[in-house]
Amino acid sequence: MSIKSLVGKPMTKKVKFMGEDVEIKKLSVGEVLEIQQLSKTVAEDEKASLELLQFVISSAVKGAEELTTDDYNSFPVDELSKLSNAVLEYSGLGNAQTK
For residue range 68-99, what is the model confidence (pLDDT) as tens digits? 999 999 999 999 999 999 999 999 986 544 44
Q: Which amino acid is at 54?
A: Q
Looking at residue 40, its pLDDT comes to: 83
- pTM assigned to the model: 0.83
For residue range 63-76, what is the model confidence (pLDDT) as tens digits? 999 999 999 999 99
Q: What is the mean pLDDT of residues 6-33?
A: 93
Structural contact between residues 49 and 99, judged by C-beta atoms closer than 8 angstroms: yes
39 has pLDDT over 60: yes
Q: What are phi and psi of 17, to 5 degrees?
A: -140, 115
CA angle 98, 64, 7 (to 5 degrees): 85
